[in-house]
Each structure stands twice: as C-alpha cells, then as structure tokens.
Amino acid sequence: MAKVEKKSTPTEESLRDFLRDMLLIRRFEEKVEERFRAGELPGFLHVAIGQEAIAVGVSHAMEDDDIFASTHRAHGHTLARGTHPNNVMAELYGKIEGCSHGYGGSMHLYDVSHGNYGANAVIGGGLPAVTGAGLAFKLRDEPRVAVAFFGDGATNIGTFHESLNLAQLWKTKTVFVCENNHWAESTPGWQHSPVWDDMSKRALAYDMRSIKVDGQDVEAVYEAAQEALEHARSGEGPVFIDAVTYRMHGHYIGDPQVYRTKEDREEAAAHEPIGRLRERIGLSDDEFDEFDRVAHATVDDALAFAQAGTDPKPEDALKNVYA
Amino acid sequence: MPEVTYREAVRDALGKAMRENDDVFLMGEDIAEMGGSMGVTQGLLEEFGPERVRNTPISEMAIVGAGIGAAMAGMRPVVEIMYEDFLTLSLEQIVNQAAKHRYMSGGQVTVPLTIRTQGGAGWSPGAQHAQQLEAWLVHIPGLKVAYPSTPQDVRGILWTAIHDPNPVIVFEHRLLYPVKGEMTEELEPVELGKARVVREGTDVTVIAIGPLVHRALEAAEQAEADGISVEIVDPRTLQPLDEDSLVASVKKTNRVVVAHEAVTRMGFGAEVAAVLQYKAFDYLDAPIERVGAKFAPLAFAPVMEQYVVPNTDDVLAAIKRTVGK
C-alpha cells in the first residue's frame, strides 16, 4: 500500500493513493465473495463493501508504530495498514503463507509487523486490549497509539463500556473507531440502541472527546483520524470517532438480507464511497480504468499465490500450544 | 528458615518482581490504598506508586482485557480478580482472548499476563463469594493454571508466572492467607508443571490441592495412628500437570485419594482419576476415591456450609476406604 506523507489535509496525490487502496480492498473483497460462492473458501466470511473509506482514512493517518485491533470484518483494515494482499488471501485459504499462518482465518487476521494485533470474532472482544495497549504506551512514554475498530453493534456490549470508562479514566493512548453502519448483523440501529443516530453520545457519558464524521468521505475520515491520533498520542486522552457508514452487502457472504428493504439497500448504494472520491479527484475514465486494472491484477496475483499456497500439516494444529 | 504467612509470601513475590522489572505492574479492585480486600498488596502502593499499583473500577472484563493488551504491548501485568466468583465476568476475555491470541496469530504475539484470584469456603460468605472454579480454566487450552498451597510455593509459582510468556492464572485460598509456613530467605522459583511430595508414605497416595493439602496432612496424622502410611502429593500446577510424579507415587502405594474443595463432579480430581486409571491401571488395588464438595451451591448457615465442604474427616474416611478399613 502506498505511504502518504502526513498532513492534516491530504494532498491530491494522497487522495489518489486513498483511491488505489479503496479500490484494492473493493476488488479483493469482490473476489473473496466470488471464491466463497464457488465453494473454494472454508469458514465464515464478512466483507466491508461500502465501508472502505474508514479503513483507508484511519490507516493512512496512523504512524508505523501504531497498532490496532480489528473485527470479524477485517480484510479492509488489514490491507489498508499494509499487509500484502497475497498473505491476506492465503490466510483465507488456510495456508501457511497466510498472515496468521492458517491458524486464524478471515475473522482472526494478525500481522504484528504491520501493527495488527488481531481481528476479533467476539463483538467488542478487542476493546479492553486496545485500552491496555494504550495504557502500556502511556506507562512507557512511547509516542504510539492503539486503535480499535468496531461496529455500532459493539456499543451495547459490556466490554465497550468498561473499556471507554477505563480509557478515559486513565487517559490511555487509544482511539476508538466506531464504524457505524446502522446494522448489528440483521438488527437495525433503531432497534438496538437509543442513540443509534449519534453514537458520540456514548462517549459523552464517559466524558470522552468525540468526533462525528461522514465515514463515506475518506478525506474527512483521514482528517478526523489525524486529529484523534494526535490527541491520544500527546497523552491528553482517548478519542471516540463515530464514523457513519453504509454496509452495501449482507452481514456475511451469502446473507439473503430478508430483513432489509430494497430502499435501504438502494440508499446504501447511493453512499458508495469510491465513486464519490473519484468524482472529488476528478479522475478521467482512462485514469480510473488504469487504477482499476492494477487493483484487479493485484487481486488476481493474490488469488494465484493463495491457491498455490502450502497446506499446514494436520498435526501443526498442536503447534503454538503451550498449555 | 523463617516462617511467614501465605499472604506475606504473595506480597513478597509481587514486590520482588516489581523491583526487578519496571514492566511489572498491578491492576485490580481496591488493591492500592486499601491493599486489596485480602490485604495482600498492602504497602505496595507506598513503595511503587499509583502508576504501578492501580486501583480499577469494578470492571472485570476491562481489568483482564487491559492486562491482555498491556501484555501484548510488552508489559508484565499482574491483575487481581477480587473473588474467583467474579472471574466469571471476565471469562470471555480469559477464554477467548488471553488463551487464544498466541495460537490464532500463528505464534506472532504472546500474552505474558498473570491473573491472581482467590476463593474458598469456611467463613459463611454464601454462594457468590467462595466458589472453587479452577476446573473451568484447566479445560481451556492456552491457559496455565496453578493452585499453590504454601507460602514457599505461592511465592515461587507467582514469580514463575510473572516471568512466563503466557497467561497464567494463580488461585489462592482465603483461609490460607494467614497460615504460616517456612520460606527460604532467597526466592526459589517453582517450575510450572512440577508436583511436590508433601509427605512420604507407603499405603495410600492423597493427591490434594490448595487447602485440602493441609486437611490431608491432618488426616494423614490420624491415619498413622491407625497404622496407615499416607503419602501426600501436591500437583501445585493443574495445567501443565506433572502426571509422571502422580503416577510414580501411585505405583508405590497402589491406592489413591484425590482431594479438592471444589465440587467433586467434573472437578479437577476427575481428570486426575482418568489419567491414573489409564497410566497406572495395573498398579491400582482399590477404586480411586474422590473428595470434594457436595453438589450444591454454598449455603450461608455455618452448619450447612460445613456439611457441603470437604473436611479432614472426609479425607480420612476416603483414605480408610481405599485400604478397606
């Protein structure tokens, strides 16, 4: 992934990098859907199609030594932080070359070399650890920040509240990024939270600084993340980002979405972030096609790499077991 | 050797570890000014300050989870869960997170976290402040579990736990805190997975943990008067388990009693019995006896509590059954 020079307002070239990354994530996940439906991929997969701007905007604002915890919808965060698409795809195929060496799968992508301390399949499961890592950075006086990605559904679980309270109380170097797509699996926001249309009220309860941002506007996300990271890094305390976004596909690949109206899906599609950025940059068709060609080629290479990957030996299941 | 209490031994291990390594710090409810609800951490705030002896909100998920994150980020946190009954609140973090990160990452991350907790009956706390839940955690691959019974052992085990790269849960027992025992001047680390022969004997082996080690010692003295020679082995760590030492003792005595304060059903003793019937089947001259609490929540009224919790007489009766007396 392209490295962007840090400035509070992204340059035109940065925006092009954002677009490249968002396109790569989109094409990657489309390919994942295709291979899953073809019966090639084991397990349980979730794509973040429509939500790419948050992963890319936040990731580009992070410093190399910052770390993050992700969720069951982890492909975008992992790719945006720089893990090679080959290693992500290989993980989905359960290969040794995978970023978790076949032990994790789609919902447990790790890559410590790129700050990924684990994607969590328990809603809210990673929030306390990100608080603790932010505490460690504070205790050691390290200029690092721990970032948590999670959805609006996670704001109802105990770990969320205990973590926000503790993080603010101790002013840990933590940024909480709520990818607020208004769905907790099949349950709409208005059915699961009294503050579903303004999650920053959750932060208010803990006296935590919060930023509400249009999660489909990668530029705005980047700027919000910069501000939040700077605040946390300085030791002034954690920040909560309510990034409003749209999940264009189902909760999982294959989800028939019987709970969702046609209008709702159309609304999500209308907020598609890649076309919006393309328009913002004013990219010509030829330029866009070239970006897209590169993204497709990268994904095709990743697929070939993964398909040709090495299967673990069955007894490798007992490695990494210390007790 | 000087005699110290179990409580002082725990405190000694914590203090020494914190003096040795700045990455070691403590988190838990009421552990700072108050010194912990059991007084274990008294004096540590004064020596190490509030950054390293941290009072937490009543948030068991966050206490354990923040410990996990700090550990993954390079610290050596020691967290205290005030009562093991409250461990149930943090089980998601222990079972799904602490136990799994190293594995799910294919070995990329480690979680050098120590969780201390305590429980135990005998003071009428009722059903929510005295359970013995160690068996729950032994069932989870990815967790090391210890249950030391003496000052010397708890200090050495805690020291090893803090230095282990993986999560270790150390169970302490409330009634053991004031109990004195000999402790060496120098701290002697205890390797996890090494049992200790507490008392040598020839007729029956009692495999006991925690307070039952002490009750077994009393029972052994009484059995001696009846001409029964009792060997007592304390596994000290339940995961990893020193199966070889247990088997060796059984091969010597041919009779076994397994004793713990937790309820007998699905207790740790069930696993020990299964291991021994498989690895020492030809050496067993009697059915393996299991001593544990009766299958009921703990009642408040002292007479009912005493009825449920295994005591010295229960261990003695089990010993006698194995030799047909």
* Boundaries of every domain in chain B: 3-182, 196-322
Question: What's CA A20's distance to the chain center, in Å?
Answer: 16
Radius of gyration of chain A (CA): 19
A309 touches chain B (CB under 8 A): no
Please tell me the distance from the alpha carbon of residue B62 to that of residue A131, in angstroms, as a whole number. 8
B105 touches chain A (CB under 8 A): yes
CA distance B106 to chain A (A): 5
Q: Are residues B105 and A110, on separate chains, in Cβ contact within 8 Å?
A: yes
Q: Are residues B92 and A125, on separate chains, in Cβ contact within 8 Å?
A: yes
pLDDT higher than 50, residue B172:
yes
Q: CA B301 → CA B120, B129, B173, B304, distances in Å? A: 15, 14, 20, 5
Q: Are residues B141 and A323, on separate chains, in Cβ contact within 8 Å?
A: yes
A254 touches chain B (CB under 8 A): no
pLDDT higher than 60, residue B189:
yes
DSSP 8-state code for residue B92: I
Q: Which fold has domain B3-182?
A: Rossmann fold (3.40.50)
The A residues from 143 to 162 touching B (CB cutoff 8 Å) are 146, 158-159, 162
pLDDT higher than 80, residue A265:
yes
Nearest CB partner across the interface for A158, out of B61, B64, B108: B61
* Tokens coding B6: 């179990």
How high is the pLDDT of residue A282?
96
Please tell me the distance from the alpha carbon of residue B51 to that of residue B291, in angstroms, as a whole number. 44
CA distance B143 to chain A (A): 6
Following DSSP, what letter does each residue of B95-134 receive, concatenated?
Answer: IIIITTHHHHTTTS-----EEEEEE--SS---TTS----H
Percent of chain A with pLDDT over 90: 96
ipTM of the complex: 0.94
Q: Are residues B25 and A139, on separate chains, in Cβ contact within 8 Å?
A: yes
Structural domains of chain A in order of their starting residue, each with its CATH number = 12-309 (3.40.50.970)
Nearest CB partner across the interface for B57, out of A135, A165, A322: A165
pLDDT higher than 70, residue A5:
no
Q: Please determine whether the domains at B3-182 and B196-322 fall in the same fold group of CATH.
A: yes
Mean pLDDT across the stretch B144-162?
A: 98
Q: What is the pLDDT of residues A131-171, one digit of tens each?
A: 999 999 999 999 999 999 999 999 999 999 999 999 999 99
B143 touches chain A (CB under 8 A): yes
Q: Are residues A117 and B72, on separate chains, in Cβ contact within 8 Å?
A: yes
Q: What is the pLDDT of residues A163-201, one digit of tens each?
A: 999 999 999 999 999 999 999 999 999 999 999 989 999
Element (H or E) spanning B181, and its range?
strand B180-182
Mean pLDDT across the stretch B124-152?
A: 97
Nearest CB partner across the interface for A163, out of B62, B67, B108: B62
**CATH code assigned to B196-322:** 3.40.50.920
Residue/partner pairs of B53-58 with CB below 8 Å, 24 or more apart: B53/B25, B53/B26, B54/A170, B54/B25, B54/B26, B54/B27, B54/B28, B55/B28, B55/B29, B55/B30, B55/B31, B56/A166, B56/B27, B56/B28, B56/B29, B57/A162, B57/A165, B57/A166, B57/A169, B57/B29, B58/B29
Residues of B recognised as catalytic: 60, 129
| A-B contacts at Cβ under 8 angstroms | 142
Following DSSP, what letter does each residue of A268-299 receive, concatenated?
Answer: HHHT-HHHHHHHHHT--HHHHHHHHHHHHHHH
How high is the pLDDT of residue A8?
76
Nearest CB partner across the interface for A130, out of B54, B69, B239: B69
Q: What is the pLDDT of residues B42-75, one digit of tens each?
A: 999 999 999 999 999 999 999 999 999 999 999 9
B68 touches chain A (CB under 8 A): yes
Q: Are residues A166 and B75, on separate chains, in Cβ contact within 8 Å?
A: no
Give the nearest chain A residue to B239 (CA atoms).
A323
Task: Check: CB of residue A98 under 8 Å from CB of residue A309.
Answer: yes
Beta bridge partners of B204: B230
pLDDT category of residue B108 using cuts at 50, 70 and 90? very high
B202 touches chain A (CB under 8 A): no
Mean pLDDT across the stretch A213-229?
A: 98
Q: Are residues B72 and A131, on separate chains, in Cβ contact within 8 Å?
A: no
How high is the pLDDT of residue A7?
53
A103 touches chain B (CB under 8 A): yes
pLDDT category of residue B325 using cuts at 50, 70 and 90? confident
The B residues from 21 to 50 touching A (CB cutoff 8 Å) are 25
pTM above 0.90, yes or no: yes
Nearest CB partner across the interface for A112, out of B25, B108, B143: B108
Mean pLDDT across the stretch B170-197?
A: 97
Please tell me the distance from the alpha carbon of residue B202 to that of residue B254, in angstroms, as a whole number. 9
Q: Shortest CA distance to B176 belongs to which of B207, B145, B202, B155?
A: B155
Nearest CB partner across the interface for A166, out of B66, B77, B97: B66
Chain B CB contacts of A128 below 8 Å: 61-62, 64-66, 68-69, 93, 97
pLDDT category of residue A2 using cuts at 50, 70 and 90? very low
User: If you average pLDDT over every residue of chain B, what do you get?
Assistant: 98
Chain A CB contacts of B51 below 8 Å: 139
User: If you average pLDDT over every residue of chain A, what do you get?
Assistant: 96
